[in-house]
Structure 1
Amino acid sequence: MSRRKSRAERDGQRAERTAAWYLRAKGWRILQRQVRVGQGRGVGEVDIIARRGRVLAFIEVKWRREAKALDQAIDERRLRRAARVAQALAPQLARPTDDVRIDVILLAPWHWPRHITHVWQP
């Protein structure tokens, strides 16, 4: 693995830990992390699955070295991959009255996490 890829991997894992900490501080319960479902082109991935009350959220976490780059950090392809996980696991994890949604948490050095809710409705 290249040095650059190794560093990006470490930064991403640190961002996911920070996002999980942030969510817990806001009253969320972390159900799963780094979830992957499917095979081939049908693969879906999501960084965190969390619950707070009647909300079940599939959360994509993005880290950038500069805050100004966060606006382009998430795209439709990544959200579609998260939606695949939500569609596969929501029947097992969601209660009948739950709101199921996909959220994004954006992180950059020296900035508070930015939690964007309902970025995609599965």
Structure 2
Amino acid sequence: MTAARQAAEARGRRGERLAAWYLRLKGWRILDSRVRTPAGEVDLVAKRGALIAFVEVKVRATAAELDFAIDERRLARVAAAAEILMPRYATQGEDIRIDVVLIAPGKRPQHIENAWIG
């Protein structure tokens, strides 16, 4: 792995930890992180009440870059992975949704609820 890739990986892991803490402060319980499926990876799986959120976390170097951090293709990949993971996490008939947490230095994490309506 190149040094640049290692730095990006470390930045992503830090962002996922920050997003998990942010969601916990908002009353969510983190069920899992970095869950891999044949369709792709889900960064965080969180639960609050009767709702399970499959969360994509995006970290960017500047707040301006957050505008381009997430697109329909990325959300579709998360949705496909969530479809595979649903039976594992939504065992009590919980509602599910796809959320996004955007992180940039000097900016409060931005939690976009129900980001994918597929």
TM-score tier, shorter chain, comes to over 0.9
What is the match of residue 27 of structure 2? 27
TM-score, length-normalised on structure 1?
0.91
| 2-structure distance, mates of 1:84, 1:116 | 18
Matches for 1:6-17 after TM superposition, within 5 Å: 6-17=6-17
SS for the counterpart of 1:27 is coil
Residue pair 1:50, 1:56 contacting (<8 A) in 2 also: yes
| 2-structure distance, mates of 1:46, 1:77 | 14
Query: 4+ runs of 1 displaced by more than 3 Å?
Result: none
What is the match of residue 97 of structure 2? 101
User: How many angstroms does 1:91 deviate by?
Assistant: 2.2
User: How many angstroms does 1:92 deviate by?
Assistant: 2.7
Is residue 2:12 matched to residue 1:36? no
Residue pair 1:57, 1:101 contacting (<8 A) in 2 also: yes
- Per-residue CA distance 1:63-119 (angstroms, 9 max, x = gap): 0010010010011221111111211111232122x2210000000001100000111
Task: Among all aligned residue pairs of Structure 1 and Structure 2, give the percentage whose two residues are the same amino acid.
Answer: 53
Is residue 2:90 matched to residue 1:89? no
Unpaired stretches in structure 2, ≥5 consecutive residues: none
SS for the counterpart of 2:87 is helix
Amino acid at match of 1:21: W
SS for the counterpart of 2:21 is helix
User: How many angstroms does 1:8 deviate by?
Assistant: 0.6
Unpaired stretches in structure 1, ≥5 consecutive residues: none
Amino acid at match of 1:22: Y
SS for the counterpart of 1:119 is coil
TM-score, length-normalised on structure 2?
0.94
How many residues of Structure 1 are paired with residues of Structure 2 in the alignment? 117
| 1-structure distance, mates of 2:35, 2:72 | 18
Matches for 1:25-64 after TM superposition, within 5 Å: 25-38=25-38, 43-64=39-60
Amino acid at match of 1:58: F
SS for the counterpart of 2:10 is helix
Is residue 2:76 matched to residue 1:80? yes
SS for the counterpart of 1:92 is helix
